[in-house]
Structure 1
Amino acid sequence: MQATDTFTDVIQAHLQSRAETDSLFAETLKKANKNIKDCITYILNTVKSSGRNGFDDEEVFGMAIHYYDEDDIKAGRDINCKVVVNHSIATMDKVLADRPQEKVETKKVMKKQPLIVNQSSLF
């Protein structure tokens, strides 16, 4: 795996935050056959197979949660790629703290305005 430490840290922070508020997921996160390295590998393989170049935070976090929820999911092979993270862990803490209000507002904005991303391929 060649994902940046920042990408791994953001995913890990989100998973830990979710585990703090969801006791069922906290147990899921402790599964012996799961780890953050394979979680990141799974995300990268899922992104690559989609053929898309950009993902919303919630989509990526959803992939991480899906990896931990499913017992028989395979991470796939290691991928050497560049991952762009649009915020730091400190920013992530603020986003998680403000999530309920921002989540609703973001959905309203996204429905009204198309998202245009000029970004080169991650793969």
Structure 2
Amino acid sequence: MATKENKGTRAFNETIKAYLEERAENDALFAVRFANPSKSVEDCVQFIINQVWKSGCNGFEDAEIYGMAVHYWEENEIEVGNPINCKVVVNHTVELTEEEKEQARQDAINKLRDEEMAKMRRPSQPKKASEKETANVQPSLFDL
């Protein structure tokens, strides 16, 4: 794909690839189609994203998406479509590497620090007369 992928799209690519590889291992006829050098998983994913976009639906069963992937590989002449910049959500947990976890932790720390610094830089608002501290006022003997 020509666009920069987000983690969800990478996970989607990997999920589709794993499904197709497993299918090719278990289905000799599909294995022949899957070995076609003029096709790629990236184009397959682009085809699926374009089909989903055209449908106008936001959610699909796994079987529907896998069916689109198989259809892409089974058709000799198929229009992949143009790259679409979108976010793909997969229905399984994306495992982060230790480096990605550490980066996320550092990003969170930096964001918190920046938010706290911004609070400290804001000018304090003058208190209203009704909010002024009155709790520390002690009556004197002369007020009685």
Q: How does 1:48-59 map to 2 (within 5 A)?
A: 48-59=53-64
Q: How does 1:32-51 map to 2 (within 5 A)?
A: 32-51=37-56
Q: Aligned pair 1:6/2:11, yes or no?
A: yes
Q: Aligned pair 1:26/2:31, yes or no?
A: yes
* Whole-angstrom distance in 2 between the partners of 1:40 and 1:88: 19
- Match in the other structure for 1:85: 90
Query: Is the Cα–Cα contact under 8 Å of residues 6 and 88 in structure 1 kept in the other structure?
Result: no
Higher Rg: 2
Q: Which amino acid aligns with 1:55?
A: F
Calculate the TM-score normalised by the size of structure 2: 0.59
* Whole-angstrom distance in 2 between the partners of 1:20 and 1:37: 20
What are the ranges of 5 or more consecutive residues in structure 1 without an aligned counterpart?
91-123
- Match in the other structure for 1:106: none
* Whole-angstrom distance in 2 between the partners of 1:74 and 1:32: 16
Offset, 1:51: 0.8
Q: Which amino acid aligns with 1:15?
A: L
RMSD: 1.7
Q: Aligned pair 1:62/2:40, yes or no?
A: no
4+ residue segments displaced more than 6 Å: none
Q: Which has the higher contact order (CA 8 A, sep 6+)?
A: 1
Q: Which amino acid aligns with 2:74?
A: D
In terms of mean alpha carbon deviation, does 16-25 or 2-11 score higher? 2-11
Deviations along 1:1-24, one digit per CA (max 9) or x if unpaired, are 346110000000000110010011
Offset, 1:88: 4.8
Percent of residue pairs identical: 48
